[in-house]
Amino acid sequence: MSAERGWTEPEIARRVLADLWEGAYVNLGIGMPLLLNELLTPEMGVILHSENGILGMGPAPPPDRRDDDIVDAGKAHVTLVPGASVFHSADSFAMLRGGHLDVAVLGAYQVSMHGDLANWKRPGQRIAGVGGAADISVGAKQVWVMMRHLTKDGAPRIVRECTFPLTARGVVKRIYTDMAVIDVTAEGLQLKELAPGYTAAEVVAATDAPLAVLEGVRD
C-alpha cells in the first residue's frame, strides 16, 4: 500500500485518536493499537489503562530509564504519567469487566457484521494465548478495532460470520482500517468515512458483508 492511497498504520492511529476525548479511559491492545501510546500527548487528557495493572500509562522511556516493574500488556517498558496508579489484576479486570473503561482499541483477525470479534487464535492453531482480550472486549463501554482491511492474501477481514475462533460476540462498535472507518450498528455496517484514494464502491467490494454508505461520504 502506498502512502498516497489509503492510511498508513500511524495515520490510522491518528484517525482513532481524533475520536477520543479528554478524560477518556482507554485500553490499547497489543500490536497496531499500541501506536496510539506514542502519539498521545498529556494535553489530550486521555488516560491509558494497561491490564497488567496500570492506569495512567505513558510512552516508552529512554533506554537508561527503563524499569522492569513498569511494563505494558506486551511486556515492553513504558512510563507512568503524573496521576498514575498501580493495582492488582482483579482490580484491573474489574475496571474492564465492570464497565468502567470508556474505549478499548484492539487489533483483530476478523470482525463480523454483528460486531463479533476474532482476535486471539487462528483456525487450527493448537496453542494460543487469550490474555485479557476476552475480558476487555466484553467489558469496555465501546470496542473499536484497528486493522488492515484485507489480509496479506487479499481476503476481507470484515465478514458476515467469523471463521476464526471468537473472542467475544456482538461487541465491536467501530472499525478503523487503511481504507475506511466503519460503524457496526443494529441496522448493519455503515461506511462512515473513506481513506484518501479509495471510493465507496472499492470499500464495499473489499468487505464481505452488506455495507451501507452513509450520506455525505464523498465518492
Partner 1 sequence: MIDKTVPSLAAAVEGLEDGMVVMVGGFGDSGTPHELLNAVLERGCRDLTIISNNAGDGDRGIAALILHHRVRKVICSFPTTARNYAVRDAVERGEVELELRPQGTLAECIRAGGAGLGGVLTPTGLGTELAEGKPIYELDGRQYVVERPLRADFALVRGWRADRWGNVVYRYAQQNFNPLMAMAARCTVAQVDHIHEVGELDPMLVHTPGIFVDRVVRVEREAQR
Query: Any contact of residue 18 with partner 1 (CB under 8 A)?
Result: no
Query: Any contact of residue 119 with partner 1 (CB under 8 A)?
Result: no
Shortest reach from residue 216's CB to partner 1, in Å? 35
User: One-letter amino acid identity for 149?
Assistant: H
Q: Is 44 exposed, middle or buried (0-12, 13-18, 19+ CB in 10 A)?
A: middle
Other CB atoms within 10 A of residue 43 CB: 7
Nearer to partner 1, 96 or 194 (CB): 96
| Residues known to be catalytic | 51
Beta strand 188-194 pairing with 180-185:
antiparallel
Q: What is the rounded CA–CA span in Å between residue 186 and residue 115?
A: 10
Q: What residues have CB less than 8 Å from 41, skipping those under 6 apart?
A: none
Q: What is the rounded CA–CA span in Å between residue 209 and residue 40?
A: 33
Instruction: Write the binding mask 35 to 74 for partner 1: x where contact by CB under 8 A, - elsewhere.
Output: ---------------xxxxx------------xxxxx---
Nearer to partner 1, 38 or 91 (CB): 91
Shortest reach from residue 181's CB to partner 1, in Å? 26
Nearer to partner 1, 98 or 210 (CB): 98
Which residues would be at the binding site for partner 1 (CB under 8 A)?
50-54, 67-71, 75, 80, 86-90, 92-93, 96-97, 126-136, 138-139, 165-169
